[in-house]
Amino acid sequence: MDERCSESRRRQELPYPRSCAVCGLRKCQFYFPEGKSVAEVDSTSDQRTVNNTMRHAYRVLSDEEKAAMQEIKDMGLAFHDRIAALGSDREISLAKTKVEEAVMWAVKHITA
């Protein structure tokens, strides 16, 4: 294991950068050479608790709540993509950030 690997450092509870120091990518390709992280979980899965460091306890969502969360995320992605197609400037960047924030708060409401 490369001592610069951000995933390795995270697992050892050492400070680590958001980007992998080995490959420079956001997700550490060195630690997960197949490109798959053992910590990746579908957001509607009951196993979604394994990769969240902030919320320590989850409740199991009903099928309706899972569907609502997926719908909110799909709608948010469609809106985000439509805004991104308009171009690239400060206003577009702010709009995309606000869409991401709106989805986050809506999902937080559903999963609380």
Q: How far apart are CA 2 and CA 68, in angstroms?
A: 42
**Total-model pTM:** 0.56
What residue ranges in 1-112 does DSSP mark as E strands? Answer: none
Contact 70, 44 (CB under 8 A): yes
CA distance 36 to 111: 26
Model pLDDT for residues 63-104, shown as the tens digit of each residue: 999 999 999 999 999 999 999 999 999 999 999 999 999 999
CA separation for the pair 98, 96 (Å, rounded): 5
* 42: Cβ contacts below 8 Å, ≥ 6 apart: 48
- Quick check: 28 pLDDT over 70? no
Percent of the chain at pLDDT > 90 equals 42
